[in-house]
Amino acid sequence: MNGEKNVSLAVIKRLPKYYRYLGELIDVDVSRISSKELSERLNITASQIRQDLNNFGSFGLQGYGYNVELLYEEISRILGLNKDHNIIIIGAGNIGHALINYSDFTNRGFKFIGIFEKDPNLIGTKINNIDIYDINTLENFIQGKNVDIAVLAIPKNSANYITKILYKNNVRGIWNFSNVDLKAGKNTKVEDVHLMDSLMTLSYKINEKEIIERYTNKKLLITKR
Amino acid sequence: MNGEKNVSLAVIKRLPKYYRYLGELIDVDVSRISSKELSERLNITASQIRQDLNNFGSFGLQGYGYNVELLYEEISRILGLNKDHNIIIIGAGNIGHALINYSDFTNRGFKFIGIFEKDPNLIGTKINNIDIYDINTLENFIQGKNVDIAVLAIPKNSANYITKILYKNNVRGIWNFSNVDLKAGKNTKVEDVHLMDSLMTLSYKINEKEIIERYTNKKLLITKR
DNA sequence: TAGATTGTTAATCGATTAACAATC
DNA sequence: TAGATTGTTAATCGATTAACAATC
């Protein structure tokens, strides 16, 4: 039972970038690339790129580099994109709306199969041809269909109740847009998208100089006393 | 000119979580908390929490812990949330739409002051009482108003052209939802929100076991030969 | 064959955790 | 005063970078 080495999340988070850029190369008929060239374009060291890929296998050729199409295919498999995934959306608000209409997901095999809402005015209608169901039928639906991923796009006060249902019914992944921190369940992985956190990070970045100045001065003053 | 120590982005990314949780504590009238208690709730070691905060100052008291309200205030200042920020949105599509309607941003001092579009059917209309302007008037608008942050929510083929305008006019930050990797400009910071990358990461997570198995087996086979 | 570039081991760097004296 | 918990220094761990032998 060895061989079960874990790959760090930092590595995984870089793979979609490689994948995206390789896709662009294919579009302009580039068939071969070295880690050095990738490195210059992606602002990641060549060494790191080679290390990342070698977590999964030896996809290159000495003296040649990487075959673009082949590497693209491999990364697609590593990311699980060779399989279809069924997605449901919890919450027919703005975010749910935006995601449903984003065709890139569908093109990569992510299939929206239902939306769940509590607002009776929305139940029974459709968004982009996907049915909106009563949130109370959620558990039943999951038990009947193969749900891989649930998008959580509801206010935080209802999030706990819903996630319990998702964990209990072994939904494989939660894509969390709600403003709560979820722990992964026994059989359920979680990926957070905290827009508010992201905006706050940007706020820090644009004010950084001033902030650092203020706080380091304060610390210096205290230290000097 | 010393004292200009830099704080790592990993630290900054944790601050909004502290901030959010402290806000929740205030709501339920908790006035004091230790790093140990925070630690249990946030799944971050107490040591790390203390290290993070001490990048900016000494906000606690030995034998007591932290005053919740005071710490909340300090983090708010560290994140630049004590100031208002003017935001414009480039692209009146689904994402732009979703963000505009998300009141949490407004409550934290992020003020939407304009939307820019190229679709003539949308120009002149409003979303949530914010005007939609012709994208061609963007540069003029920026020169006349104080734009802190531009949200980039347009297809990638037009992204390059627009970002050039933003850099040139020293917009302080770009919140990038477009499927391109932006480099920070001389005076412009960038924060990426790559939804597609995030979804791919989740895809990896839910398929991880199988993926690791497949690839480590492959490597073992190769090694054995 | 000579040149290029990989895969991989070793060195470095940075971030996290542990430990503890200072002090409320 | 005794107990609790900070701020901070030191130790550990993990991730990134450098170096180079293997090999196309």
pLDDT score for B171: 98
Alpha-carbon distance of B92 to B135, in angstroms, equals: 10
Mean predicted confidence (pLDDT) in A33-56: 97
pLDDT score for B136: 97
Taking 90 as the threshold, does the pLDDT of residue B215 lie above it?
Answer: no
Mean predicted confidence (pLDDT) in B98-117: 95
Cβ neighbours of residue B55 closer than 8 Å, sequence gap 6 or more: A215, B7, B11
Mean predicted confidence (pLDDT) in A4-30: 94
Helix residue spans in chain A (DSSP H): 9-27, 35-42, 46-53, 68-78, 94-100, 103-107, 138-144, 156-168, 195-224
**From A72-86, A94-108, A210-224, B13-27, the region with the lowest mean pLDDT:** A210-224
Burial of A79 (0-12, 13-18, 19+ CB in 10 A): buried
Alpha-carbon distance of A106 to A100, in angstroms, equals: 9
Name which residue leads in pLDDT, B220 or B213: B213
pLDDT score for A223: 44
Secondary structure element (H or E) that encloses residue B79, with its range: none
Q: What is the pLDDT of residues B45-55, one digit of tens each?
A: 999 999 999 99
Alpha-carbon distance of B181 to B183, in angstroms, equals: 7
With distances taken from each CA to the C1' atom of nucleotide C3, the closest residue turns out to be A63
Size of interface A-B (CB pairs under 8 A): 202
The three-state secondary structure class of B191 is strand
pLDDT-based confidence at A185, cuts 50/70/90?
confident
Q: What is the pLDDT of residues B132-180, one digit of tens each?
A: 999 999 999 999 999 999 999 999 999 999 999 999 999 999 999 999 9
Query: Do the beta carbons of residue A196 and residue B16 sit within 8 Å?
Result: yes
What is the nearest CA distance from A136 to chain B, expressed in angstroms?
25
pLDDT score for A103: 85
Mean predicted confidence (pLDDT) in B26-45: 97
Give A225 CA → C14 C1' in Å. 31
Q: What is the pLDDT of residues B72-94, one digit of tens each?
A: 999 999 999 999 999 999 999 99
B7 contacts on A by Cβ (under 8 Å):
212
Q: To which residue do tokens 């933003």 refer?
A: B166
pLDDT score for A2: 37
With distances taken from each CA to the C1' atom of nucleotide C6, the closest residue turns out to be A62
Alpha-carbon distance of A165 to A8, in angstroms, equals: 29
Give B57 CA → C14 C1' in Å. 21
A80 contacts on B by Cβ (under 8 Å):
203-204, 206-207, 211
Q: To which residue do tokens 């001092």 refer?
A: B109
Taking 60 as the threshold, does the pLDDT of residue A224 lie above it?
Answer: no
Alpha-carbon distance of B210 to B76, in angstroms, equals: 43
Which residue among A4, A43, A191 places its CB closest to the CB of B212?
A: A4
What does pTM read for this prediction? 0.94
Mean predicted confidence (pLDDT) in B116-135: 97
Query: Which bases of strand C have any atom within 7 Å of the beta carbon of a protein residue?
Result: 2-9, 14-19, 22-24
pLDDT score for B3: 41
Taking 70 as the threshold, does the pLDDT of residue A163 lie above it?
Answer: yes
Q: What is the pLDDT of residues A102-152, one digit of tens each?
A: 889 999 999 999 999 999 999 999 999 999 999 999 999 999 999 999 999
Cα–Cα distances (Å) from A144 to A43, A136, A141, B13, B184, in that order, read 46, 14, 5, 39, 48
pLDDT-based confidence at B2, cuts 50/70/90?
very low
pLDDT score for B223: 44
The three-state secondary structure class of B193 is coil
Alpha-carbon distance of A13 to B197, in angstroms, equals: 7
